[in-house]
Amino acid sequence: MTTDELPSVWTRQRRSREQPSLNRAQIVAEAVALLDADGIDALTMRRLGTRLDAGATSLYRHVANRDELIELVVDEVYGEIRIPDAGGDWRAAVTACARSVREMILRHPWIASVLGQVGLSYLGPNVMLLNERMLAMLGAAGFPPDEAGDALSTVIAYVIGTGINEAAWLTMLARSGESEQDWQRRLTPTLARAVEDYPNLRAQFEGTSDQDPTRLREESFAYGLARVLDGLEPRRRSAAPA
């Protein structure tokens, strides 16, 4: 690596010769499968090499280190996000994309622990395509160029923040071996006692304790996203030609 080269898989030149029996796409696909099955702590070059029937040394011919591998797997799962075409109902299009981002996070809950440490993740081709098409969508909806980027960042920040919290919760549930509904049933008596001296919390608890927790998460996400888009709508209108 040259002295001015940034440490990222997206800035390092790939070697021209790859091991014929193994390629980067295979490594990344197997790494995603390992992460989905066993979580982030299970991802080591040695364990991944074993799953691929190859030594860790063979992997280093394609990926310089674990940090680069994490950059690659994050970009890989971003490729699952559905991006509607620009134009038409901008709120419906942004909502569809936001829901797809959330669904990706919940399919791969390990991503909650790596999004803050994935280096130059914004240079990955799938992340760049997501940003490019969402900027086009917002531009077609009437957001001025100097605000489209901030609008995009605001939406994505809400989705990722909410999705990471959900992913952490679902990861804890998976480790417990219980369903969300089972956990709620076990926790309800404890929560009822805990909120006795807090009238606002008690009222909220009494209004939701018998409702399906999965549905409540869905409704909470939809509510927050709608309020984010409500806040962006006046900016779009102010930029519309008179």
Return the percentage of the chain with pLDDT > 70, whole number.
88
Q: Is residue 126 part of a domain?
A: yes
Q: What whole-number distance in Å separates Cα of residue 200 and Cα of residue 149?
A: 38
Q: What whole-number distance in Å separates Cα of residue 13 and Cα of residue 99?
A: 34
Q: For residue 95, what are the contacts with CB-CB under 8 A and spacing of at least 6?
A: 225, 229
pLDDT mean by block of 10 residues, the chain; 242 residues: 63 57 89 93 90 83 88 93 80 94 93 72 85 90 90 93 90 87 91 94 90 93 97 81 51
Q: Is residue 196 part of a domain?
A: no
Q: What is the pLDDT of residue 120?
A: 66
Give, in order, the Cα–Cα distances in Å from 107 to each of 9, 39, 103.
24, 12, 6
Q: What whole-number distance in Å separates Cα of residue 54 and Cα of residue 57?
A: 8
Cβ–Cβ < 8 Å for 108, 171: no
Domain check: are 65 and 142 in the same one? no
Cβ–Cβ < 8 Å for 139, 86: yes
Residue 130 phi, psi dihedral angles, 5° rounding: -60, -50
Domain final residue pick, 56, 78, 100: 78
Question: Per the structure block, which two tokens stand in for 135?
Answer: 């900027």
Q: What is the pLDDT of residue 125?
A: 92
Domain check: are 94 and 171 in the same one? yes
Domain check: are 67 and 88 in the same one? no
| pTM to 2 decimal places | 0.83
Q: What is the pLDDT of residue 3?
A: 46
Q: Is residue 192 part of a domain?
A: no
CATH code for the domain of 224: 1.10.357.10
Question: Which domain covers residue 126, as residue numbers?
Answer: 82-177+212-239
Q: What whole-number distance in Å separates Cα of residue 17 and Cα of residue 29?
A: 20
